Amino acid sequence: MGNGISKITRKEIIEVLRKRYLKASKKEKTKLLDEFIALAGCHRKHAVRLLGKRNQAEESNKRIASRAVYSEAVKEALIVVWEAADRICSKRLKAVMLDFVDAMERHGHFQLDPEVRQQLLKVSATTIDRLLSEIRKTAHPRKKKRKPKRATKQVPIRTFADWDEPGPGYLEIDFVAHSGGSMEGNFIHTLVGTDLCSEWTECIPLLAREQSLVAESIDVLCRRFPFPLLGIDSDNDAAFINDTLLEYCTTHGMEFTRSRPFCKNDQAWVEQKNGAVVRRFVGYDRFSGIVSGQALANLYQNVRLYLNYFQPSFKLLSKERQGAKVRRLYDKPQTPCNRLLNQQDIEEPTKKFLQAQHKRLDPAKLLYKIRDNQASLAVLASPEDHTTGPGRTSLEEFLAQLPQLWRAGDARPTHRSNNNSQIRSWRTRKDPFKEVWPDVLQGLQREPDITAKDLFRRLQNDHPGNFADGQLRTMQRRVKEWRQIMAKELVYSCMDGSKEYDKIGLIDAKI
């Protein structure tokens, strides 16, 4: 600009003329522009931009205010539902938002204001990600990878491309080892079975990886799935590829195939469930013995109901490569129960049973019982590092913690070592009973009424000089925790035991 006007003077003139310019008529704007151009010596188009530009701070505040659609109450309600859904992704949460809100209101866990409820059901998956972005930074768990398994060549091979949209009844099965990183000694394995059509998943803990136990477990799976099993696809583990399982499948009219060696994509469905179900709910600690097996069985009894009725998942519809990129198309997230209800191959009595079971189940109560089972497993894995977690509270206290539970990091007691919270996960001294603890558990199983003092004296006699008298208190505390777990597991075994099979061959598990 010319005429020797300073920047400060020019700014003041622009602010004064802008207010008149924005309110003026067309003729008055023309006169104001002529005066300003004569004074400032600038181009007419530049003068229009300067005088016609509104205050940027006011515009920014208006834009921010216009974006604040969802109130803090909606965010708090969203956190509760997200925690009750076990922190699933936004797209899966959006797919079951209505089911969870209805279930939690029906069971009296909260009562939302009509306006808050309407906004909560209207929120999109992208907005859910935005509202939970800061919370997830604190509560995000750490993931681990599994090691590849060895191969064998004893049964026909079926690749991932050979599945032509099968109906309900074709399973992929696999083992998950609870070895704690060391394959030495005996430890529990979980047999996972996933239906390719509905993604209905069942888990069974096995004290040993043995072919006759696998055949018996397949028989249990036949009774647990709400449809008849037509085929089984396994990897190349010797516990699967043997005459026992092959004869079982032939006798029961099941198709038996295997994947290619070292090709996990051939079993993509069950491999995904190994991490999303077993590792997510159980973790990576080592478990062995009958007590741990009972605790895992009780956990899976609650997980199967929570997972198959309230946890939606994606299914890949198509995959197309475009240069260096691969474009994948997924269907709408659905729960395994909903997928079965939409299947024409499922009989009406089975659909009515699934609908009735879904209405009876309380997702928040199931999650509370899962946390309680996980707390028991955490004690069995590391009794000296056990701390009170969400599973050790009452149901009312657990529900009250849901809005703020994300602040404590990972809420699963079996994943305490992966948290970034203030909970201590290290020892200050060597565990004196680490080497003999399996023998102590066997002694407790043989003689449940034996006192901790008698057990400690036996250890002193069997291992002279290894245990001081001052360590008796530690033994008493460990035995007390073990008896509390066994009492709780006994209650669960009575509450969650399966009834007699009904007319359509299903197990009506009590909650």
| pLDDT by position in tens, the chain (length 511) | 455 677 788 888 888 888 888 888 888 888 888 888 888 888 888 888 888 876 555 555 555 555 667 888 888 889 988 989 888 889 999 999 999 989 988 998 888 888 988 888 989 999 999 888 888 888 776 655 555 444 355 688 888 888 878 889 899 999 999 988 888 888 999 999 999 989 999 999 998 888 888 999 999 999 999 999 999 999 888 888 888 888 888 899 999 998 888 888 888 888 889 888 999 999 888 898 888 889 999 999 999 999 999 999 888 888 888 888 989 888 899 999 999 999 888 899 999 999 999 999 999 999 999 998 888 888 887 665 544 444 457 777 777 777 777 777 777 777 765 444 444 545 667 778 888 888 888 888 888 788 888 888 888 888 888 888 888 888 888 888 887 777 766 655 555 444 333 322 333 333 2
Cα separation, 58 vs 492, in Å, equals: 61
**3-state DSSP assignment of residue 509:** strand
Q: What is the pLDDT of residue 152?
A: 52
Alpha-carbon torsion, ordered 2, 4, 8, 14, to 10 deg = -40
pLDDT of residue 200: 92
Coil, helix or strand at residue 241 = coil
Q: What is the pLDDT of residue 362?
A: 92
Cα separation, 344 vs 337, in Å, equals 13
Residue 356: Cβ-neighbour burial (10 angstroms; 0-12, 13-18, 19+):
exposed
Q: What span, in angstroms and rounded, lies between the C-alpha atoms of 384 and 464? A: 23
CB neighbour burial string for 203-223, b if at least 16 within 10 angstroms, e if fewer: bbbbbebebebbbebbeebbe
Place of tokens 């299903």: 506
What are 182's two structure tokens?
Answer: 């060391």
CA distance 138 to 406: 7
3-state SS, residue 234: strand
Compute CA 493 distance to the chain's CA centroid, rounded to the nearest angstrom: 24
Is-contact 398 390, C-beta < 8 A? yes
What is the per-residue pLDDT for 500?
Answer: 34
Nearest alpha carbon to residue 259 among 177, 148, 153: 153
Cα of 230 vs its chain's centroid, Å: 29
pLDDT at 361: 92
C-alpha 347/C-alpha 351 separation (Å) is: 6
Burial bucket for residue 19 (CB in 10 Å: 0-12, 13-18, 19+): exposed
pTM above 0.75, yes or no: no
- Secondary element (H or E) of residue 191: strand 189-195
DSSP 367-413: HHHHHHHHHHHHHHH-GGG----GGGS-HHHHHHHGGGGGGGS---G
Structure token pair of residue 127: 């907005």
11, 48 Cβ separation under 8 angstroms? no
Q: Hey, what are 24's tokens?
A: 């003026």
